[in-house]
Amino acid sequence: MKRRYNPYSWPPWLRQVRAVCAQIIIPLTIFQAIRTIFFPTTFDVFLLAVFVLLAFALHLEWI
């Protein structure tokens, strides 16, 4: 049986870490997008993709 996802059952410090990550991921993604436009390396493109996926996951509350 699949367990239901409930972020309120997490410890308070873990909920705080998630809230901080959710606040900082958008500015970090914008900075990385600007950096990728000016210095397009493979690592920068990969990092931008990870940041975008993480931002969507945090926004949709998958994490």
Contact 25, 56 (CB under 8 A): no
pLDDT of residue 12: 86
What pLDDT digit, counting tens, does each position of 23-34 carry? 999 999 999 999
pLDDT at 59 over 70: yes
Residue 29, domain extent: 12-59
What pLDDT digit, counting tens, does each position of 38-53 carry? 989 999 999 999 999 9
Residue 1 forms part of a structural domain: no
Maximum mean pLDDT: which of 13-17, 42-46, 58-62: 42-46
Residue 41 forms part of a structural domain: yes
User: Considering its fold, how many domains does the chain have in total?
Assistant: 1
pTM of the model: 0.76
Q: CA 51 → CA 2, 32, 41, distances in Å? A: 28, 8, 15
Residue that wins the pLDDT comparison between 14 and 47 = 47
